Amino acid sequence: MYDPQSRHAAEFIDQEEAAAAVAEADRMARDPAAVRDILARAAERKGLDHREASVLLAADDPETTAAMFELAAQVKRDFYGNRIVLFAPLYLSNYCINSCTYCPYHRANTHMPRKKLSQEEIVREVTALQDMGHKRLAVEAGEHPKENPLDYIIESIRTIYGIHHRNGAIRRVNVNIAATTVEDYRRLRDAEIGTYILFQETYDRAAYETLHPAGPKHDYAWHTEAMDRAMDGGIDDVGLGVLFGLGAWRREFAALLMHAEHLEAVHGVGPHTISVPRVRRADGIDPADFAHGIDDATFARICACIRLAVPYTGMIVSTRESRAVREQVLGLGVSQISGASRTSVGGYAEPEAEEENSRQFDVSDDRSLDEVVHWLMGLGCIPSFCTACYREGRTGDRFMSLCKSGQIQNCCHPNALLTLKEYLEDYASPATRERGEALIRKELENVKSPHVRAIAERHLAAIAEGRRDFRF
């Protein structure tokens, strides 16, 4: 029976409850009054439970879709403004002992070159990322106790934080590695990671065990309960995600929200971020081989429904998605995107040769970071490289309380402008710099507090004179 306060995966991700939510949604979606009532509750900006959100996802008539999209856009503006946070993944190693059937890193793939970055190679990769303008990384590695032990991950994090090149510095390292113990999560916390990210892949237990036939990841409970152990270990910013295409997408959607409800019930704070990747082509991986793929229209509806269900949670869309898809979902609640990503082990300092292909998946948006920044500003968005909340201790329930009250805007909006100014001064092309300076002048007028605006103006002037790293 569904129990969000239980610590057991089989209870807070109850398979029968996920199926019941979908069945109830089918019935209620045919009732216009019920749908309007749920939309009205969503408009209160306090979130929806998994059953309510499932009804909106099922109500796919044009009128409801339009209302839902409009409301999702407004909710995103209310809590996150027009800021879009930018990051890049850094793959440390593709050694892996698991047998995930949707990932080319599976241990039976004997023709993929196995690579692991040395600390010297990490310095070169991070320097190249800094030269683009990145300030925030997501570290990725396969699960391999010999090749990728936690000591290696922590050493790599310390190396990353220690690299200062010209005006470049990585200010936040998020970590996406395999489920581990409470003690190991404490060590990651002590290494000053940002968010701990772990995709569930699929919440359907039977499908999960089939898709993970061997290796530590085969253990559904160990994987699904990882976020509880991470939060018990002191990591208060965690990121959930489903790999859409592996399981029945409406049940996955309901279970994802059930997981978020569980974290809120047990730990007092839900996920800091939710990612919505879709299965993509990779070495030996064909998305058509998986029966539950979703089209772009469905993907957009999922993004909008997540935004209405968890209005305070960041939503991430990576370069798995095309420019066109990313442009649509930016207006439906997405608050973070990757830019200029490489999904290979190495490839930032020097392009990887095709015969050495170590990509985890093919990217669909291969534009440079400058092109992405220029594009975002053309859409009226503020490209943000801000990491101030993490470094000022505004994480977990402290961040969420500020977000829910709307006070976070007094921090995030000016901080986004300051980090954009840094980017324009240090890395931008002339056309991007011209567009960015105009945007900053315009957005300063939207800083509500005269006091905050005055401080921001002083900081912006100091950045133009060569000083860096101001933050609210």
**Residue 202 and residue 105 share a domain:** yes
**Residue 351 and residue 448 share a domain:** no
* CA pair distance 401, 426, nearest whole angstrom: 34
**Residue 172 and residue 282 share a domain:** yes
Instruction: Give the per-residue SS3 of 39-65.
Output: HHHHCCCCCCCHHHHHHHHHCCCHHHH
Contact indicator for 229, 182 with CB cutoff of 8 Å: yes
Q: Give me the helix-helix angle, 150-161 and 182-190, nearest 10°.
A: 20
**Residue 148 and residue 295 share a domain:** yes
Q: What is the pLDDT of residue 219?
A: 98
**Residue 152 and residue 288 share a domain:** yes
User: Residue 439 falls within a domain, yes or no?
Assistant: yes
Instruction: List beta partners, residue 89.
Output: 138
**Residue 305 and residue 246 share a domain:** yes
Q: What is the pLDDT of residue 99?
A: 98
Short-list 259, 365, 247, 373, CA closest to 317: 365
Reported pTM: 0.96
Q: What DSSP letter does each residue of 298-326 carry, written as one string?
A: HHHHHHHHHHHHSTTSEEEE-TTS-HHHH
**Residue 180 and residue 102 share a domain:** yes
Q: What is the pLDDT of residue 466?
A: 95
Short-list 1, 39, 41, 34, CA closest to 17: 1
**Residue 428 and residue 335 share a domain:** no
**Residue 242 and residue 102 share a domain:** yes
**Residue 360 and residue 304 share a domain:** yes
Segments forming the whole domain that contains residue 245: 77-366
Contact indicator for 439, 383 with CB cutoff of 8 Å: no
What is the full per-residue pLDDT of the chain (472 aa) written as tens digits?
899 999 999 999 999 999 999 999 999 999 999 999 999 999 999 999 999 999 999 999 999 999 999 999 999 999 999 999 999 999 999 999 999 999 999 999 999 999 999 999 999 999 999 999 999 999 999 999 999 999 999 999 999 999 999 999 999 999 999 999 999 999 999 999 999 999 999 999 999 999 999 999 999 999 999 999 999 999 999 999 999 999 999 999 999 999 999 999 999 999 999 999 999 999 999 999 999 999 999 999 999 999 999 999 999 999 999 999 999 999 999 999 999 999 999 999 999 988 789 999 999 999 999 999 999 999 999 999 999 998 999 999 989 888 888 778 788 999 999 999 999 999 999 999 999 999 999 999 988 889 999 999 999 999 999 999 999 8
* CA pair distance 8, 14, nearest whole angstrom: 10
User: Residue 228 falls within a domain, yes or no?
Assistant: yes
Q: 448, exposed or middle or buried, with CB in 10 Å at 0-12, 13-18, 19+? A: exposed
Per the structure, the count of domains in the chain is 2
Q: What is the pLDDT of residue 410?
A: 80
Give the pair of three-digit tokens for residue 414. 């000016």
**Residue 360 and residue 287 share a domain:** yes
CATH number of residue 130's parent domain: 3.20.20.70
Short-list 211, 199, 206, CA closest to 246: 211
